[in-house]
Amino acid sequence: MTKTNTVLFTGGTHGNELTGVRLIEHWVSLGAQFTRPGISVKGLMTNPKAVLQRVRFVDEDLNRQFALEQQKSGARDFHEGLIATHLTAQIGPQSAAQPDLIVDIHNTTSHMGATLILLANDRFNQQLARFVFNRMPQCNILLEDEKPFEEHVYLCTLGKRGVMIEMGAQPQGVCRAALFKQSIQLLNHIMDFCALWNTGNVGDLPPCKAYRFVENIKFPLNHQGLVDAMVHPSIQDNDFAPLAPGAPAFIDFAGNAIPLDNTNTVYPHFINEAAYQRSHVAFATATTFEW
């Protein structure tokens, strides 16, 4: 069993997602609560310039710069590329300071509540999911294991293990007190788990309901490449609710409902996420399973 002796909380990976930003800004007063016996916990603001400008990123999305081949490619001459190169050297797999666990803190404009995103289907992640769900049953558990951990593009993959939390709905550039409180609770549950994991005292946890990422769904486009429909009102703000085959997913500007071409029930999430509009992504889909 590999212990989790060093944990790094990261905020500001997206500069306008203020739950993590505020936590790291106030780390001196807030960070001590996450300390557990035998575990070193630190906080890091990953993209201060984007935070200062209150934008998601300056040049390119920092949370899409950490695939293994990107880490090997050397310096990249744009703001977030330079940050990624620096972070990889400082805390990445070849660094002596690589954290055992990175927890990257995010917000979404979608109504996803508290969501814990895990990137590997192994015992640590499974037990973490069960532990968090047992302590915080309103938390959604989302597994993105469509590719190996090290092939993901996310900042948290710089750690030996890495997870993300998504807190929503929260507008960009805003910090909502209720979501901030929930994030503190979720982060403390993660730290409680790490302490129990290290001592072998997690216990026999029952399986939990989880969602497994399938794909990103784009808006319908017309022949000019313009968005030709909106998210249907029946699924708007209903993240992780079932979408049956034939049920409306979009509505065009004339009022006609458009179903998703799915043969099985799926669970949309990141519904109408503001940051994904530039890439025409309307939502992501998932299946559900007992984990």
Kindly list the catalytic residues: 166
Whether 219 contacts 282, CB under 8 Å: yes
Whether 105 contacts 63, CB under 8 Å: no
Half-sphere exposure of residue 6: CA atoms within 13 angstroms, side-chain side: 9
**Tokens read off for 23:** 């936590």
Cα dist from 83 to 48, 50, 125, 228, 277, whole Å: 10, 11, 27, 37, 24
Nearest in space to 13 (alpha carbons), one of 55, 60, 49, 62? 62
Q: How far apart are the C-alpha atoms of 262 and 225, rounded to whole Å?
A: 23
> Other C-beta atoms within 10 Å of 115: how many?
23
Whether 191 contacts 264, CB under 8 Å: no
Nearest in space to 43 (alpha carbons), one of 94, 91, 80? 91
